[in-house]
Amino acid sequence: MDSRRLSRVLAVISLVCHVCTVRAGDIVHGDDTAPKKPGCANDFVLVKIQTWVDGIENAEFVGVGARFGTTIVSKEKNANQTLLKLSDPLDCCTTPKNKVAGDVLMVERGNCKFTTKTNAAEAAGASAVLIINNQKELYKMVCEKDETDLDIKIPAVMLPQDAGVSLEKMLKNSSSVSVQLYSPRRPIVDIAEVFLWLMAVGTILCASYWSAWSAREAAIEQDKLLKDAADEIPIAEAMGNTGVVDINTTSAVLFVVIASCFLVVLYKLMSYWFLELLVVLFCIGGVEGLQTCLVALLSRWFKRTAESYVKVPFFGAVSFLTLAVSPLCIAFAVVWAVKRNASFAWIGQDILGIALIITVLQIVHVPNLKVGTVLLSCAFLYDIFWVFISTKFFSESVMIVVARGDKSGEDGIPMLLKIPRIFDPWGGYSIIGFGDILLPGLLIAFSLRYDWLANKSIRAGYFLWAMIAYGLGLLITYVALNLMDGHGQPALLYIVPFTLGTFLTLGRKRGDLKVLWTRGEPERPCPHVHLRHCDESHEEK
């Protein structure tokens, strides 16, 4: 496979899934440029608004607390159930005409400052104010620089437009509507992040050992060919078709360009139909990955079936084992696609995704440390640009918008691993993009192949330390995620320095850096050396 075809493969696999780690419930609209000052120094928090219609529990809405006013209780048991009333006038720029003593007042955004509305509601005796936005998004309410009337003793919460429409219908169609406002805190660590960390590390571990085992088997077979019939069998024929693709520096650099182009296309064209297309592509890749993994696993017990082939139109020679496994894989992917919005669908998505990543790491190889360094460095810059710097050009983070599928009407793109946040009162998912596993995994799998060919022990090799560095980098990603209150974080910002830095430092300290950087394989005497290197040494003589 030439470099252009390889770069297309890597881009298609990594770009759509190479997203930063995010979780549901993020507030993404930046309106906090005004500095904090006395009376206007609250942290922005998400607020739950539970409703009761005529005493019967109804819908729950989510808003965001203002920079000003009193803070909202964090525990549901401490929150009071209070009547909700509609302001008259609706904008509440003047003291409301209706009696609202101790009630929660619902007002519309516009015509005056947020603080003016809240002061007017407080003067009327309201216990809290719900300000309905004129757009579907949440908006952070801040104070203007010249404001002084900030001694506000009631909380103010912004709700999106659709929530306001629903609440207004409730008020018009029922005798009484009550609300309860509280802002539960997220746990410092959710068990979902622990399992996601284990999934990512375990996926690379399995893929690396499979890749190294296949490489060692291929090396042993090639050694036999050289030893028994080196003079009679041409080198190209002896090598055969291994099915392994080596990345080069050109395709590594081209990856960033192509991936960036595809990411912009996803951002601009993200819609329901485009997401459906991504689901189809993911299912195709997932079926191929799941089939490859199952056939490789089952062939140990059904060796004869795996080695018996039949000719299939358009596909050529296919083993009987593959024919038996393929329908099951296709059925699994189809069921997932149909049920992907169900609460349990994340399990099928993770199975298909892990199988795809393992298969890619088995097929695509980093031949040396030079290529690995170029690839991860480019991916590092790619991640930073599209998570942080893209906000300067697109007014929002392109990577985060694509990851969540904001413009598609569904819960994000399928090319990622995710686990529901079990103990998070806000729910949602902890997620990680395929690229945050796949790209470092290419370098880590290379380290294990090198260790085995060099006959290095686990402690004297590079694989153990590369795995530890990756695990620490991913762990720091989740720490940063929690410190940033759930705002999206580019995982490679932490993973690349740890993983690549550890590899380069150890290689230099042990004196292996030159071999790792250029050859990617230890020096071995013929015929126990890789065929192409043996052939090169013969030509030099």
| Cross-strand partners of 541 | none
What's the CA gap between 200 and 291, in Å, rounded? 20
The two three-digit tokens of residue 353, written as one number: 């995704």
Cis peptide before 527 (omega within 30 of 0): yes
* 436 catalytic per annotation: yes
Strands 177-182 and 46-53: antiparallel
* 424 catalytic per annotation: no
For residue 251, the one-letter residue type is S
What's the CA gap between 190 and 421, in Å, rounded? 6
- Nearest Cα neighbor of 417 from 15, 8, 9, 22 is 22
Q: Are 134 and 159 in contact (CB under 8 A)?
A: no
For the packed helices 3-15 and 249-269, what is the interaxial angle rounded to 10 degrees?
Answer: 40
What's the CA gap between 402 and 342, in Å, rounded? 21
Q: DSSP label at 279?
A: H
Pick the catalytic residue from 190, 223, 424, 436: 436
Strands 156-159 and 56-65: antiparallel
For residue 343, the one-letter residue type is S
For residue 386, the one-letter residue type is W
Pick the catalytic residue from 26, 190, 383, 424: 383
| Cross-strand partners of 64 | 46, 158
What's the CA gap between 16 and 79, in Å, rounded? 42
The two three-digit tokens of residue 62, written as one number: 């989510």
- Rounded alpha-carbon distances, angstroms, from residue 256 to 11, 15, 246, 499: 8, 9, 17, 19
Cis peptide before 89 (omega within 30 of 0): yes
Describe the chain by its helix, strand, coil percentages, rounded to 5: 50, 15, 35
Q: Are 530 and 507 in contact (CB under 8 A)?
A: no
Strands 81-86 and 104-108: parallel
- Nearest Cα neighbor of 329 from 284, 263, 377, 278 is 284
What's the CA gap between 482 and 432, in Å, rounded? 15
| Cross-strand partners of 309 | 319
Within a 13 Å sphere around the CA of 482, how many CA atoms are in the beta-carbon half?
15
| Residue 24 DSSP SS3 | coil
Q: Spell out the residues 6+ positions from residue 14 whose beta carbon is closer than 8 angstroms to its own.
A: 255, 259, 379, 434, 435, 438, 439
What residues act catalytically? 383, 436
